[in-house]
Chains A and B, each alone.
Chain A
Amino acid sequence: MVRSRIVLSTAGEDHLTVSSAEGDSLASAPLAQVTFSERIGSAPRRLVFPDGSVFETDEHEAIALLEGDTPASRLHAWEAFHPRLAVVILAGIAGVWALWRYGLDIMVAGAIAVTPAALFGAMDAGTIQAIDATMASPSKLSEAERTRIQGIFDDLVATLPPGSIRKGQTYSLGFRSIPAVGPNAFAMPGGSIIMTDAFARKFPKDDVIAGVLGHEIGHVVEDHGLEQVYRSLGIYVLVALMAGDTGPILEDILLEGNLLLSLSFSREKELEADAFGVELLRDAGYNPVGLADFFRELIEMVGDDNGFRATHPSSSDRVQRIEELIEAQ
């Protein structure tokens, strides 16, 4: 490093010359060919000449004059610590809210739209294989039972509006004996729905079966499974991109927050599936009260109240919502 001075001559084309204390020329070039480093904070500015020489200085005002008005200099002006920053902060808060409320949903919908059709089937096949390998055995329900339930299922699927079946989704009902999960029915993104023997035995009424199957079909139609996955991923990516360096403790808190958010999202989706089920039942000719009856029986069997750490809303809430929906019809 050598102490030097820089001179701008404006005779004809603007020209910059760096010379040593003794007056020797160290570097020289037209102003247009000199690269200015971004102005950031109070860090020294660096001017890079075509031959690789670097001139470094703290004389910010002078260099700002040389540099003139550029996007970089305007950015620096905006970053100055000034009451005007309050506007920026408000814009930030508004932006976060908008992104949360709308942006995330748009991103998730886009991701689902571009998910290859083949993937839906593959997810179902893989999940069913895994369940069969680990905790399920073939159903022990009678042929007659299965036919009856299949009939209800086929009624419901037939009632679905044509546009609601996505390419790659095929609705199919499977029966398994899965003692580990008790009376249960669950749906996979590709349209495969499994009902356990215990469920068929404990809740034999047509309307109740229709209610729960309708609810599960609702999960498939609205892509809840994939939504959950993409949403969680989306939040993680956005937080990682924008939180910057928040420190070790906060990273853990933010990730735990992501988990709590996805639980709340999951409860919302359960209520949506209930609402879908009620409509589908009515359209297919079953009594939507069946779904409410299911939750009433559930309250008697295992009690109520789940709290904010649960994936499902409390059964009493669900009964209430369903009855409101039925009345509104």
Chain B
Amino acid sequence: MPATPPSLPPSQQTPVPIEFRGDTREWFGIWIVNFVLSIITIGIYSAWAKVRQKKYFYQHTYVGGRNFDYHATGIQILIGRLIVIAGLVVFTVISAIPVLAIFAFLAFLFAVPWLVVRSLLFNARMSSWSNVRFGFFGSYGRAAKITILYPLLAALTLYLAAPFADRARRRFIVDNHTLGKTTFFFDAPISKFYIAALAAVGWVLVVGAVLGFAIVQSGVLDGLFASLEGIDSPPPQAEIGITIATYAALFVVFAPAGALYYAMARNIVFNHSTLGGIHAFRSTVPPLGYVWIVITNAIVIVGSLFMLLPWAQIRKAKFLAAHTEMLVGGSLDEFVGTMQDERNAIGDAYSDIEGLDLDIGI
């Protein structure tokens, strides 16, 4: 299904806000009950918990007063998860046999594009806005290019060409999604991706240098170097010092750089995506503001032993929604009306999609 490039000038579009109406206290109850039921059932309920979580976040997100919805059932998610776990177990055990490990790895590698397509398809079909389902039409071939070939090529260029691979991946995802029968489209100049990448790398270099300087000054490494010269093993202080330094590096250097890139890339994608050629989107997420949210969230979550995780999730969702809007060409009611007519014409064949929902770290 070819994506429709934009054809309506911005002046004829009306900004429509995106709201997230979730509430921490409400969500906390749902989250903790989800968690406890999952523990009691040794993870089986987690499938239903996931559905409930997605429903909560989808149904409390509104565009122009109409909300999203999530339609997967617990059974579908459970079956998908069992398949993934079975695959993981087989993969781990076969990898323990050194000669077969390489075959296991290759089999996994070529399964990835298929898994990605099935997962995107399932998630799209199970999601709706204003009761109109999304769709996905990506092919295995293109998925293979963006999951295997382009990352490989990027690695070969010592990641100097990585932004191209990232843009290709985002184009694959956006161009192949539909809302009802209306297609999405995304294209942006590569320079924007390079700016985002440079910001992230710049952060790592600058903050990393400052942190490295601080660590050396603090003398934590002195014990380690002294021990390397003799046969004594490192003193406990150096061990703990190294661990703290590692976590500090993670928290202060790498995670914020990742968050910076995420925010900037998200802005690029929204600002250059269109729906049906006449509707557009705008994302004005401040990158440093997003970094602050993510870092403080992590600190609060750990500090509260995960009890405040629901608060952090709501906070992030509200932040992102507050900086996102849709630019509708014409009237929203008309747009929704057209989509619903289309849907009635083709009939609702979406309810029993056999799909895999991948969420275990792939």
A residues apposed to B, CB below 8 Å:
1, 38, 40-44, 46, 52, 54, 75, 78-82, 85, 88-89, 91-92, 95-96, 99, 103, 107, 111, 115, 119, 122-123, 125-127, 129-130, 229, 233, 236-238, 240-242, 244-253, 302-309
**Within the complex, which residue of B27, B81, B243, B333 is in contact with A241, where a contact is CB–CB below 8 Å?**
B81
Query: With A92-B35, A237-B360 known to touch, is A247 a contact of B294 (CB < 8 Å)?
Result: yes
Given the complex of chains A and B, what is the CA–CA distance between A125 and B99 in angstroms?
9
Count: A-B pairs, CB below 8 Å: 168
- B53 CB-CB contact with A under 8 Å: yes
Query: With A81-B25, A248-B255 known to touch, is A88 a contact of B36 (CB < 8 Å)?
Result: yes
Given the complex of chains A and B, what is the CA–CA distance between A82 and B307 in angstroms?
15
Chain B residues closer than 8 Å to A130, beta-carbon distance: 98-99
Main SS class of interface, B: helix
Is the pair B36, A91 in contact by a Cβ cutoff of 8 Å?
A: yes
Given the complex of chains A and B, what is the CA–CA distance between A254 and B78 in angstroms?
23
Is the pair A92, B297 in contact by a Cβ cutoff of 8 Å?
A: no
Chain B residues closer than 8 Å to A79, beta-carbon distance: 26, 29-30, 33
Given the complex of chains A and B, what is the CA–CA distance between A40 and B21 in angstroms?
13
**Within the complex, which residue of A44, A88, A96, A246 is in contact with B309, where a contact is CB–CB below 8 Å?**
A246
- B286 CB-CB contact with A under 8 Å: no
Given the complex of chains A and B, what is the CA–CA distance between A123 and B348 in angstroms?
50
Is the pair A249, B251 in contact by a Cβ cutoff of 8 Å?
A: yes
**Within the complex, which residue of B25, B243, B294 is in contact with A248, where a contact is CB–CB below 8 Å?**
B294
- B139 CB-CB contact with A under 8 Å: no
Chain B residues closer than 8 Å to A129, beta-carbon distance: 98-99
Is the pair A75, B33 in contact by a Cβ cutoff of 8 Å?
A: yes
Chain A residues closer than 8 Å to B251, beta-carbon distance: 249
Given the complex of chains A and B, what is the CA–CA distance between A55 and B280 in angstroms?
29
Query: With A78-B33, A92-B35, A247-B312 known to touch, is A233 a contact of B234 (CB < 8 Å)?
Result: no
Chain B residues closer than 8 Å to A122, beta-carbon distance: 97, 100
Query: With A89-B32, A247-B312, A307-B234 known to touch, is A1 a contact of B336 (CB < 8 Å)?
Result: yes
Given the complex of chains A and B, what is the CA–CA distance between A96 and B37 in angstroms?
11
Closest partner residue, chain B, to A82 (CB atom): B29
Chain A residues closer than 8 Å to B53, beta-carbon distance: 244-245
Chain A residues closer than 8 Å to B12, beta-carbon distance: none
Chain B residues closer than 8 Å to A107, beta-carbon distance: 42
- B188 CB-CB contact with A under 8 Å: no
The range of chain B's interface size is 35 or more
Which has the most chain A C-beta neighbours within 10 Å: B33, B50, B52, B100? B33
Closest partner residue, chain B, to A86 (CB atom): B32
B residues apposed to A, CB below 8 Å:
21-23, 25-36, 38-40, 42-43, 46, 49-50, 52-53, 55-56, 59-60, 66-67, 69, 81, 85, 88-89, 92-93, 96-101, 130-131, 231-234, 236, 239, 243, 247, 250-251, 255, 258-259, 262, 294-295, 297-298, 301-302, 306-307, 309, 312-313, 316, 333, 336, 348, 359-361
Is the pair B250, A85 in contact by a Cβ cutoff of 8 Å?
A: no
Is the pair A40, B55 in contact by a Cβ cutoff of 8 Å?
A: yes
Chain B residues closer than 8 Å to A253, beta-carbon distance: 247, 250, 302
**Within the complex, which residue of A88, A125, A246 is in contact with B33, where a contact is CB–CB below 8 Å?**
A88
30 of the cross-chain contacts (CB-CB < 8 Å) are: A38-B52, A40-B55, A40-B59, A42-B21, A42-B60, A43-B56, A43-B60, A88-B33, A95-B40, A125-B97, A127-B98, A130-B99, A237-B43, A241-B81, A242-B39, A242-B49, A244-B31, A244-B34, A245-B53, A246-B306, A249-B295, A250-B298, A250-B302, A253-B247, A253-B250, A303-B231, A304-B233, A307-B236, A307-B239, A309-B239
Given the complex of chains A and B, what is the CA–CA distance between A103 and B39 in angstroms?
10
Is the pair A308, B239 in contact by a Cβ cutoff of 8 Å?
A: yes
**Within the complex, which residue of B46, B56, B85 is in contact with A40, where a contact is CB–CB below 8 Å?**
B56
**Within the complex, which residue of A43, A54, A88 is in contact with B32, where a contact is CB–CB below 8 Å?**
A88
Is the pair A41, B250 in contact by a Cβ cutoff of 8 Å?
A: no
**Within the complex, which residue of B27, B69, B97, B258 is in contact with A126, where a contact is CB–CB below 8 Å?**
B97
Chain A residues closer than 8 Å to B361, beta-carbon distance: 236, 240, 251
Given the complex of chains A and B, what is the CA–CA distance between A129 and B21 in angstroms?
60
**What distance in Å separates the Cβ of A236 from its nearest Cβ neighbour in chain B?**
8
Chain B residues closer than 8 Å to A52, beta-carbon distance: 348
Is the pair B97, A92 in contact by a Cβ cutoff of 8 Å?
A: no
Closest partner residue, chain B, to A255 (CB atom): B361
Is the pair B360, A240 in contact by a Cβ cutoff of 8 Å?
A: yes
Given the complex of chains A and B, what is the CA–CA distance between A299 and B243 in angstroms?
26
Chain A residues closer than 8 Å to B250, beta-carbon distance: 249, 252-253
Given the complex of chains A and B, what is the CA–CA distance between A305 and B239 in angstroms?
12
**4 closest residue pairs by CB, A with B:** A43-B59, A95-B39, A130-B98, A126-B97
Chain B residues closer than 8 Å to A119, beta-carbon distance: 93, 97
**What distance in Å separates the Cβ of B84 from its nearest Cβ neighbour in chain A?**
9
Chain A residues closer than 8 Å to B336, beta-carbon distance: 1
**What distance in Å separates the Cβ of A43 from its nearest Cβ neighbour in chain B?**
4
